[in-house]
């Protein structure tokens, strides 16, 4: 057996032992997870700063608090979630007991992203624990300090047999994906999401893919533009734009587009100063490859369209060393470089472009960085047309004061905005950004173009279909709170029938006759 096979074999053995089934054990593990977060807060914050130079407030607000709330919610409710449910009976079940058992799948593979390395892994782990599953956890090699820290802390606090951390880069991940898991949860790019789904299809393994895409913002002409700018600039440049639900581009009513750009400029300076590079409140680009990718987007956009920012700062020393480390794909080497050269960072100032057209290179794929294109539109109708011409986004944001962008849907009070009812997206926030994805009481996920039904087809058909898809798919499946529990739970129907009342069933037995038919009818 190779390392991945041995890891999975041992973890599956732990699951088969039945240790995860008692709800009391699950609650104990969830409390241990809270202990991990509370007792190691400074170490976790320091790791996030070394990997991404995340400001302390952002790390606490978007990483630690999110997971703590998830864990506390699960501890309070897992007893109820785990109980059997009793559906209404059909006529043929009147003499039976009918119920649905909540059964864990088994071993879940968690493949996490580097942009929110603590929040993503631990919020998913909360649902895995609560639902009684085991997990093999694969942190991203692009956030090496945080990944290394979690590989030490998780076995210190959680059951070592049930929850195992697997470190490595692309070669190690490729080996891991050849194994048969009971569920795969992947967070990251649509390109890698396709690779994960192909690997899962080999074993008909269900997947939850949280991807991304170009999440649009529509700004109507009646909006408070100062308020819009404050909220959009915060959400866009949080984690320096490296957020899957970050606003990717703005569709602004052409009557107010110049005024909005002016407010965006003022707000960027208000938040980050005249020289954002020196701001302690901005994170940094994760590595040289992503820095170059963002630079290429900027170089392909005409300078006359630059409205705000545009400055970059690249440390040649950092890039050389980081490229050297990546070539070896060893996390311990990355960690060493971060400890030695932790202050050397890659920076791009918050940048806004104006007069952007749909066919411009900046609109070709998800930006995932501190660049915000603004497109002028004639109104909500044109905005809907543009949004629907793209892949379904992970998020949609609508800013409007009045019901002028609403439509008359009488059974909903108040009626939904026009953009809400005429577009499809993973989630929507009206008059703010990110908030639909920030709480455990709402499901979080994308709108898959394929859905789980694909797993009923031959996997080669799936692979051929995936290869024909354009990039930018927002994902499939959902999680957060009880939705994670449900996604990782098999609802097993049970009909319990006694060994009596045989006369009521006699009509179903051969030899068949007209009398049998009349009794059945």
Same-domain check for residues 204 and 299: no
* Any domain includes 461: no
Same-domain check for residues 115 and 97: yes
* Maximum alpha-carbon separation in the chain: 90
* Sign of the alpha-carbon torsion through 134, 136, 142, 148: positive
* Any domain includes 31: yes
pLDDT tens-digit map of 69-118: 999 999 999 999 999 999 999 888 888 999 999 999 999 999 999 999 99
The fraction of the chain above a pLDDT of 70, given in percent, is 86
Distance of alpha carbon 475 from alpha carbon 448, whole angstroms = 5
* Any domain includes 518: no
In sequence order, what E strands does 227-380 have? 249-253, 306-308, 312-313, 347-348, 351-353, 371-377
At 305, give phi and psi (nearest 5°).
-90, -5
pLDDT for 396 beyond 70: yes
Q: Residue 428: give the domain boundaries.
A: 216-438
* Any domain includes 222: yes
Determine the average pLDDT of the residues in 35-56.
97
Predicted local distance difference test score (pLDDT) of residue 420? 81
Same-domain check for residues 182 and 303: no
Label residues 182-215 b or e (16+ Cβ within 10 Å = b).
bbbbbbbbbebbbbbbbbbbebebbbbbbbbbbb
- The answer to whether residue 407 is catalytic is no
Q: How many domains does the chain have?
A: 2
Catalytic residue among 210, 263, 326, 366: 210
Distance of alpha carbon 272 from alpha carbon 263, whole angstroms = 14
Determine the average pLDDT of the residues in 282-310.
93
Predicted local distance difference test score (pLDDT) of residue 312? 81
| CATH code, domain with 226 | 3.40.309.10
Predicted local distance difference test score (pLDDT) of residue 402? 72
Predicted local distance difference test score (pLDDT) of residue 439? 87
Quick one: pLDDT band at residue 502, thresholds 50, 70, 90? confident
Read out DSSP for 16-48?
HTTTT-SHHHHHHHHHHHHHHHHHTHHHHHHHH
* Any domain includes 86: yes
The DSSP symbol for 365 reads S
Same-domain check for residues 207 and 224: no
Same-domain check for residues 306 and 341: yes
Predicted local distance difference test score (pLDDT) of residue 421? 81
Picking from 378, 256, 467, 345, the residue whose alpha carbon sits closest to that of residue 49 is: 345
- The answer to whether residue 244 is catalytic is yes
Distance of alpha carbon 241 from alpha carbon 263, whole angstroms = 19
Same-domain check for residues 50 and 107: yes
Read out DSSP for 451-515?
-GGGGGS-HHHHHHHHHTSPS---EE--BSTHHHHHHTEEEEEEEE--S--GGGGGGGSSSP-HH
Same-domain check for residues 333 and 422: yes
pLDDT for 319 beyond 90: no
Predicted local distance difference test score (pLDDT) of residue 415? 54
- Cα pseudo-dihedral 325, 340, 287, 432, rounded to 10: 150
* Any domain includes 511: no
Same-domain check for residues 221 and 205: no
Same-domain check for residues 391 and 259: yes
Determine the average pLDDT of the residues in 298-318.
80
User: Mean pLDDT score of the chain, rounded to an integer?
Assistant: 87
Higher pLDDT, 346 or 60: 60
CB 374 within 8 A of CB 261: yes
SS3 217: strand
The DSSP symbol for 189 reads -
The neighbour count for residue 430, using CB atoms within 10 Å, is: 17
Same-domain check for residues 207 and 142: yes
pLDDT for 343 beyond 90: no
| CATH code, domain with 161 | 3.40.605.10
CA-CA distances (angstroms) from residue 346 to 116, 314, 323, 380, 382? Answer: 18, 5, 13, 38, 37
Distance of alpha carbon 33 from alpha carbon 158, whole angstroms = 7
Question: If you compute the radius of gyration of the chain from its CA atoms, what whole number of angstroms results?
Answer: 26
| pTM listed for this prediction | 0.87
Picking from 115, 78, 70, 75, the residue whose alpha carbon sits closest to that of residue 439 is: 70
According to DSSP, the β-strands at 475-476 and 428-430 are unpaired
SS3 329: coil
Same-domain check for residues 157 and 224: no
Q: What angle do CA 70, 75, 80 make, to 5 degrees?
A: 110
Please list the residues that pair with 377 across neighbouring strands: 253
Which of 299-308, 462-471, 493-502 is least confident?
A: 462-471
pLDDT tens-digit map of 198-230: 999 999 999 999 988 899 999 999 999 999 999
Distance of alpha carbon 312 from alpha carbon 297, whole angstroms = 12
Predicted local distance difference test score (pLDDT) of residue 451? 34
Higher pLDDT, 479 or 17: 17
Token pair of 223, please?
A: 């909006």
Same-domain check for residues 192 and 235: no
pLDDT for 467 beyond 60: no
Catalytic residue among 58, 70, 179, 244: 244
List alpha helices for 276-342, DSSP H. Answer: 288-299, 316-328, 331-341
pLDDT tens-digit map of 153-166: 999 999 999 999 99
Distance of alpha carbon 37 from alpha carbon 33, whole angstroms = 6
Determine the average pLDDT of the residues in 385-403.
90
* Any domain includes 356: yes
* Any domain includes 507: no
pLDDT tens-digit map of 411-460: 555 555 677 888 999 999 999 999 999 889 999 998 864 333 333 333 33
């Amino acid at each position: 057996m190779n390392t991945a096979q041995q890891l999975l074999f041992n973890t599956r053995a732990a699951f088969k032992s039945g240790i995860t089934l008692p709800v009391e054990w699950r609650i104990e593990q969830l409390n241990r997870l809270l202990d991990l977060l509370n007792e190691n807060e400074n170490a976790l914050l320091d790791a996030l700063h070394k990997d991404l130079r995340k400001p302390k407030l952002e790390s606490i607000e978007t990483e630690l608090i999110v997971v703590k709330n998830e864990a506390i919610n699960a501890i309070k409710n897992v007893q109820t979630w785990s109980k059997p449910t009793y559906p209404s009976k059909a006529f043929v079940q009147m003499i039976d007991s009918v119920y649905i058992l909540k059964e864990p799948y088994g071993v879940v593979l968690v493949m996490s992203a580097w942009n929110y390395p603590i929040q993503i892994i631990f919020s998913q782990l909360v649902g895995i624990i609560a639902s009684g599953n085991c997990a093999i956890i694969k942190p991203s090699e692009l956030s090496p300090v945080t990944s290394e820290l979690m590989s030490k802390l998780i076995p210190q606090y959680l059951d070592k047999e049930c929850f195992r951390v697997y470190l490595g880069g692309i070669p190690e991940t490729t080996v891991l994906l050849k194994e048969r898991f009971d569920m795969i949860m992947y967070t990251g790019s649509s390109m890698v999401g396709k690779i994960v789904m192909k690997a899962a299809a080999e074993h008909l393994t269900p997947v939850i893919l949280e991807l991304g895409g170009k999440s649009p913002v529509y700004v109507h002409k009646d909006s408070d533009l100062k308020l819009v700018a404050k909220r959009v600039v915060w959400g866009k440049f949080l984690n320096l734009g490296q957020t899957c639900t970050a606003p990717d581009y703005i569709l602004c009513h052409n009557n107010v587009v110049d005024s909005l750009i002016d407010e965006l400029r003022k707000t960027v300076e208000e938040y980050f100063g005249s020289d954002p590079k020196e701001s302690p409140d901005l994170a940094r680009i994760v590595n040289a490859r992503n820095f170059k990718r963002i630079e290429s987007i900027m170089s392909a956009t005409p300078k006359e369209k630059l409205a705000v920012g545009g400055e970059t700062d690249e440390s040649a020393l950092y890039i050389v060393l980081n490229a050297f480390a990546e070539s070896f794909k060893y996390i311990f080497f990355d960690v060493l470089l971060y400890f030695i050269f932790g202050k050397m960072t890659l920076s791009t100032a918050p940048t806004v472009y104006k007069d952007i057209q749909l066919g411009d290179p900046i609109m070709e794929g998800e930006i995932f960085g501190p660049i915000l294109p603004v497109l002028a539109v004639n109104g909500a109708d044109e905005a809907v047309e543009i949004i629907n011409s793209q892949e379904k986004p992970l998020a949609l944001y609508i800013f409007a004061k009045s019901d002028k962008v609403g439509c008359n849907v009488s059974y909903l009070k108040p009626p939904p905005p026009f953009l809400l009812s005429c577009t499809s997206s993973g989630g929507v926030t009206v008059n703010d950004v990110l908030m639909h994805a920030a709480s455990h009481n709402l499901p979080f996920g994308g709108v898959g173009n394929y859905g789980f039904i694909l797993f009923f087809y031959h996997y080669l058909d799936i692979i051929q279909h995936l290869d024909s898809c354009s990039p930018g798919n927002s994902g499939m499946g959902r999680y957060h709170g009880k939705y994670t529990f449900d996604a990782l739970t098999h609802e097993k129907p049970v009909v319990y029938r006694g060994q009596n009342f045989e006369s009521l069933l006699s009509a179903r037995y051969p030899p068949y006759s007209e009398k049998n038919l009349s009794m059945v009818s």
